[in-house]
Amino acid sequence: MTEPTVGWGRLLWRGATKRCPRCGGGHLYRGWFRMVDRCGSCGLRFEREPGFFVGAYLINFAIVIVLLFVVCMGYVAMKAVDASAPLMPIMVVGLVLAVAAPVLFYPFSRTLWSAIDIGMTPLTADEVDGAAAALARGEVGVAATTPPVA
């Protein structure tokens, strides 16, 4: 069985909008943190191997680093204009971003990572067959039994 080719733009868009990278199906979360094991539309198993979602944590980390870099550069620009600009408000903003951004981007980082991984490593025939079998058995769209580690 062969998969239709999906371009990187569509893959990344699906990932960034919390959709299944394979079929574009939605409703992949039961709550903000609890992702389903398999897509309810196509049966794709998202965790393709143990430790699969470490890549999602890396994406989340990178987003926070970029945001903190922007805050730091904002402070540098403020200091260039006003040498007496206070540091404390910038530190508070940075702290709030460092805590809130990983929580806010968490579900997006997981689906984005799934999309990137499928783009780099297309599904095997076993995965495609397993998805079809799970879909036929109705074992899809069920939240993971173990909550993710944030």
Q: Which residues bind Zn ion (CB under 5 A)?
A: 20, 22-23, 25, 39, 41-42, 44
Shortest spacing between CB 61 and Zn ion, in angstroms = 26
Alpha-carbon distances, residue 123 vs 13, 25, 118 (angstroms): 18, 17, 7
Shortest spacing between CB 150 and Zn ion, in angstroms = 24
Q: Is 143 helix (H, G, I), strand (E, B) or coil?
A: strand
Tokens of 69: 């870099």
Measured CA to CA, the distance from residue 39 to residue 41 in angstroms comes to 5
Measured CA to CA, the distance from residue 101 to residue 134 in angstroms comes to 34
Q: Which residue has the tokens 């297309």?
A: 122
Measured CA to CA, the distance from residue 82 to residue 76 in angstroms comes to 10
- Closer residue to Zn ion in complex, CB, 41/109: 41
Shortest spacing between CB 18 and Zn ion, in angstroms = 12
Shortest spacing between CB 98 and Zn ion, in angstroms = 33
Q: What angle (nearest 5°) sits at the alpha carbon of residue 116, between those of residues 19 and 35?
A: 40
